[in-house]
Chain A
């Protein structure tokens, strides 16, 4: 069956508004813990301002950041839970949320830079569909990813030799990319790292990891899990800090996603996420049952 489109619109609009006005609870918690252990008073007050901003946005029913970032939608569906006209519904929800003052019109033509004024546009939002034949529910995750953060992104096709002993080449690439980006991606950041596949696969995985996973989860793959924790600690020794003006808290999470690759190459992509981890998801069952996910 196809999920009834009319049923979905209200859910989708709610996801959009939620992403405009709130950040994920796991990230709030990580930030609160970071404030406790942060040694720089400026960094502490910067992070407190960030949490205060979220609270104020909630109270006043306003967007927490002036920029909605880039909206991306991750959908997984099965034979019995096809997502129907979800693309149109999301496009409509974005335009309506813009009219209602939740989103700044930020989508423009890539060359002429002309702005239609309502966040409508070609390939907006950015969709990823995963088909899992036997899956008995429909999962929809919406993520708003800041584009100052996108400015810092990097991609490199490594060779086996360049990966280095204990992947030190990869680790240097990550730390140098974070240092180069400095305060631009609105730290404390979340960092997504995609490894393997072809160029586009690594890029998509890097974005997916940091956009759809809870920032307090742990990677089921033990090698990736240990790399995530090592890199998080190393990044937080760089001293970049919240807003890039110094401190111990540069990153709140590092998320690695991998895919097998060709023996000649080792693609590595890095996607920055700003501190405003705006993601929300729902799981829908054919009988009409709904659950919040993430």
Chain B
């Protein structure tokens, strides 16, 4: 039986997830990448309000291919972008109340610390599998900041069963990526001794 969790996410939803678990998401998912994160920061710095409530939210590091029709925005495909670019905003994203971050490639120490402090997880989506992943999205609800460009706008997606997503960083300070990096470095030293 596939494990489906529904947004908005609670502290309990997150605390029981551990690295290696596979989950699917249902409900509202917000996209945000470089420019949306920068815009959020700018608005917060100026004391302005944000167009959506990030408490309990799932934020997807992604920029979709969309089409505008008479009846509204229609999703073409969507897949994860490299999350490491959003590492500088780890603290801000935690403070906003975001519970799950979906992306690819993982994040580093700042995020790992924030995940523990704010009770968040990082979910790895299948990279480059945009046609497959789009099947899990029911529709586009709305878009904010479209002037940032199609990839960089904040898209509000409604997911029916979005995934599969691998829990790759959990709220206890574990990171699949860090474990792999450590082991890989040992292998390198074994294969080719440092000069």
Q: Are B168 and A245 in contact (CB under 8 A)?
A: yes
Cα distance, A184 to B83, chains bound together (Å): 8
Interface residues of B in 108-141 (CB under 8 A from A): 124, 126-132, 134-135
Cβ of B96 within 8 Å of any chain A Cβ, yes or no, is no
Q: Are A101 and B67 in contact (CB under 8 A)?
A: yes
Cβ of A290 within 8 Å of any chain B Cβ, yes or no, is no
Cα distance, A244 to B108, chains bound together (Å): 14
Write out, one digit per residue, whether chain B residues 138-150 have a CB within 8 A of any chain A CB (1) or not (0): 0000000000111
Write out, one digit per residue, whether chain A residues 156-168 have a CB within 8 A of any chain B CB (1) or not (0): 0000001010001
Cα distance, A256 to B191, chains bound together (Å): 20
Chain B residues within 8 Å of A243, by CB: 104, 124, 126-127, 166
Chain A residues within 8 Å of B65, by CB: 63, 66, 101, 103-104
Q: Are B126 and A49 in contact (CB under 8 A)?
A: yes
Cβ of B183 within 8 Å of any chain A Cβ, yes or no, is yes
Known: A42-B166, A50-B129. A182 touches B180 (CB 8 A): yes
Cα distance, A56 to B126, chains bound together (Å): 14
Chain B residues within 8 Å of A162, by CB: 195
Partner of B131, one of A56, A113, A172, A234: A56
Chain A residue at minimal CB-CB distance from B132: A53
Cα distance, A152 to B184, chains bound together (Å): 16
Chain B residues within 8 Å of A244, by CB: 104-106, 124, 176-177, 180
Cα distance, A108 to B150, chains bound together (Å): 11
Interface residues of B in 77-102 (CB under 8 A from A): 77-79, 81-82, 84-85
Chain A residues within 8 Å of B177, by CB: 182-183, 244-245
Q: Are B105 and A184 in contact (CB under 8 A)?
A: yes
Q: Are A63 and B130 in contact (CB under 8 A)?
A: yes
Shortest CB-to-CB span from A47 to chain B, Å, is 9
Chain A residues within 8 Å of B84, by CB: 151, 184
Shortest CB-to-CB span from B71 to chain A, Å, is 16
Chain A residues within 8 Å of B148, by CB: 115
Chain B residues within 8 Å of A50, by CB: 126, 128-129
Chain A residues within 8 Å of B134, by CB: 62
Cβ of A227 within 8 Å of any chain B Cβ, yes or no, is no
Chain B residues within 8 Å of A117, by CB: 149-150
Write out, one digit per residue, whether chain A residues 88-119 have a CB within 8 A of any chain B CB (1) or not (0): 00000000000001011110100001110100
Cβ of A266 within 8 Å of any chain B Cβ, yes or no, is no
Q: Which residues of B contact A (CB under 8 A)?
A: 20, 34-35, 62-65, 67, 76-79, 81-82, 84-85, 104-106, 124, 126-132, 134-135, 148-152, 164, 166, 168, 176-177, 180-181, 183-185, 187-188, 191-195
Given A50-B126, A65-B77, A113-B35, 16 more A-B residue pairs with CB atoms under 8 Å apart are: A53-B130, A53-B132, A63-B130, A64-B130, A103-B65, A106-B63, A117-B150, A151-B82, A164-B195, A172-B188, A176-B188, A183-B105, A183-B124, A183-B127, A244-B104, A246-B180
Q: Which residues of A contact B (CB under 8 A)?
A: 42, 45-46, 49-50, 52-53, 56-57, 60, 62-67, 101, 103-106, 108, 113-115, 117, 146, 148, 151, 162, 164, 168-169, 171-172, 175-176, 179-180, 182-187, 234, 237-241, 243-246, 274-276
14 contacts between A and B (CB under 8 A): A62-B131, A63-B65, A63-B131, A66-B77, A67-B151, A148-B82, A162-B195, A179-B184, A183-B127, A184-B84, A186-B128, A237-B187, A245-B166, A245-B168
